[in-house]
Chain A
Amino acid sequence: MSEITIDLAGKPVREVNQLLHGPLAGIERVSVLNPDGSHNLAVGVDAPVRVDIHGHAGYYAGGMNKQADIVIHGSASTGVAENMMSGTVRVKGFASNGAGASAHGGLLIIEGDAGLRCAISLKGGDIVVGGNVGSFSAFMAQAGHLVVCGDAGDALGDSLYEAVLYVRGSIKSLGADARIEPMGEADLRTLGDLLGRAGLDHDPASFKRIASARALYHWNADANQEY
């Protein structure tokens, strides 16, 4: 197995991204030292490579990821794993706003808390948050799963489509058209699998299921804008 280490101290992010976008020719693991909050670290990777970012990442780390397994040994700023297609992104610390926004596939694991608008417009990806999520999480989420092991903020799942949310802690408030539903056998299996892949041993039965009531799917002129 071939491994390469890049120290980004005083160097542009392109040093890492051009390597990851080129022919990797047997390189299976890339370690990035001193990321120092740089933006766009390891974005647009389309290769089965392991990337370790040792420190705090800036905006959009692991964005558009395909196939790669990316681990951020620190916190991630806005838009981590935004529009991910496949592979995994794991954040060992906290993540800022818009984590996993519009991800189509893959698994995003945030071991700490996630900020506001986590999983906004999720399109099929899976997100497991070890801690809490901020307000407006899973806004207009269309497909995929958001698992929250801690608490959720205001307006969780507002205008939710077919994504399913599982929350272990408290929910400050649900958004329009989101509702708590009973956990079924399929939910327990799906959630057990996601928790297992995230390396968390919570009991799936301790979570609540939140899904769309589908009342907003069709315009109702009599609703008087109240949902």
Chain B
Amino acid sequence: MCGIVGLLVKREALRPRLGELMVPMLIGMTERGPDSAGLAVFGTPVEAARRKINLYSGLTAEGADFNWQALGHEVGGTFGGAATIEAHGNHAILTVDTAPAAVRHWIHEHHPRLHILSTGRSMDLYKDIGTPTEVSDRYDFQHLQGTHLVGHTRMATESAVTPDRAHPFTAGEDFCLVHNGSLSNPNGIRRMLEPRGIHFDTDNDTEAACRFLEWRLREGDDLPTALQKGFDELDGFYTFLMGTQDELALIRDPFACKPAVVAETDDYVAIASEFRSLAHLPDIKHANVFEPAPEAMYVWKA
């Protein structure tokens, strides 16, 4: 079991309240996923040449005391340009104006225990072990701002409870995926992708789905085409919620074993595994509440 939440606000005035509206959604899914939590939030993109690399130091010896400022200086010294770092405990957002692949490679070489959470222009990604309340407090989710977000509470079934196996998973840039369910062919997907040079960080089944779909997008498929290939190739039980720079997308497997409910008003689209995570939202009593159908694609534009 796991919990999924997603929120997209349609009015600019609601963007500063994105985190505040979402936190009760995430906490509402604690019973479905008490062991880890995480979210990806999409906001105003940085300049076209710049990239945000989200980093997690909880697996290093220093943990939350990791010397982020020193890392910022090292990156600036190595690559030149204007590297900035914005740190919060075991999480930091490193913004660079260098080709991000080189920076990521350098981080792997020099700080192998540092976990790279995400790369992109608009997405920040937070995830850690702990209850949804603990993780929300740890990263001050309450004050997150942006246009849309994808969140997850985890009750692990397919791989160990560790921060890097928490959701969301990410691949490429500004793409993330959360999953409720279990895949039966993740290793087949891995064996298909790895010879194509696609590297996996963990043994988690969801990571296979995330890398598969991102690979299709990178190969030129639009989102509906990529999702259709997902229906064809990914076997198992799933409700997937995905975020891109300007979209939220939701699909459920043909058996719809894993739940999802959507509430839409003129102000927002909210998605959760269960209605109890939506009950607090403004004007929910007048929202259009529906259950997404199996094997259908739901895509909402930010």
Contacts of B256 in A (CB 8 A): 97, 115-116, 134
A161 within 8 A of B: no
Contacts of B280 in A (CB 8 A): 36
Cβ B255 vs Cβ A116 within 8 A: yes
B259 within 8 A of A: yes
The closest CB in chain B to the CB of A54 belongs to: B285
A56 within 8 A of B: yes
**Restricting to A108-135, which residues have a CB under 8 Å from any CB of B?**
115-116, 134-135
Choose one: A34, A38, A75; the contact of B289 (CB below 8 Å).
A75
In the complex with contacts A58-B275, A77-B259, A96-B291 CB distance below 8 A: yes
Contacts of A97 in B (CB 8 A): 256-257, 259
Tell me the complex Cα distance, A77–B293, Å: 14
Cβ B276 vs Cβ A94 within 8 A: no
B269 within 8 A of A: no
Tell me the complex Cα distance, A56–B289, Å: 9
Choose one: B257, B276, B285; the contact of A58 (CB below 8 Å).
B276
B188 within 8 A of A: no
Cβ B294 vs Cβ A56 within 8 A: no
Tell me the complex Cα distance, A200–B278, Å: 32
B160 within 8 A of A: no
A-B contacts, 25 of them at CB < 8 A, read A36-B279, A37-B278, A38-B276, A55-B279, A56-B275, A56-B289, A58-B275, A58-B276, A59-B274, A74-B289, A75-B289, A77-B259, A77-B261, A77-B275, A78-B259, A94-B290, A94-B291, A97-B256, A115-B256, A116-B255, A116-B256, A134-B293, A135-B254, A135-B255, A136-B255
The closest CB in chain B to the CB of A34 belongs to: B279
B245-279 near A? 1/0 per residue, CB < 8 Å: 00000000011110101000000000000111111
Taking Cβ atoms with an 8 Å cutoff, the residues of B that contact A are 254-257, 259, 261, 274-280, 285, 289-291, 293-294
- For A, the interface residue count at a CB cutoff of 8 angstroms equals 21
The closest CB in chain A to the CB of B293 belongs to: A134
Min C-beta distance of A55 to chain B, whole Å: 8
Tell me the complex Cα distance, A115–B257, Å: 11
Choose one: A34, A37, A115; the contact of B291 (CB below 8 Å).
A115
Cβ B279 vs Cβ A134 within 8 A: no
A25-68 near B? 1/0 per residue, CB < 8 Å: 00000000010111000000000000000011011000000000
Tell me the complex Cα distance, A34–B285, Å: 10
Cβ B259 vs Cβ A96 within 8 A: yes
Min C-beta distance of A155 to chain B, whole Å: 11
Cβ B289 vs Cβ A77 within 8 A: no
The closest CB in chain B to the CB of A59 belongs to: B274
In the complex with contacts A38-B276, A58-B275, A77-B259, A116-B294 CB distance below 8 A: yes
Contacts of A36 in B (CB 8 A): 275-276, 279-280
Min C-beta distance of B51 to chain A, whole Å: 40
Cβ B290 vs Cβ A37 within 8 A: no
Tell me the complex Cα distance, A136–B279, Å: 30
Question: Which of A56, A74, A116, A134 is packed against the most chain B CB atoms within 10 Å?
Answer: A56
Min C-beta distance of A190 to chain B, whole Å: 30
Min C-beta distance of B2 to chain A, whole Å: 15
The closest CB in chain A to the CB of B31 belongs to: A39
Cβ A134 vs Cβ B278 within 8 A: no
Tell me the complex Cα distance, A136–B254, Å: 11
Cβ A37 vs Cβ B259 within 8 A: no
**Restricting to A129-149, which residues have a CB under 8 Å from any CB of B?**
134-136
Report, nearest first, the 4 A-B pairs whose CB atoms are least far apart.
A37-B275, A36-B279, A37-B276, A56-B275
Tell me the complex Cα distance, A6–B272, Å: 26
Tell me the complex Cα distance, A190–B252, Å: 36
Contacts of A94 in B (CB 8 A): 290-291
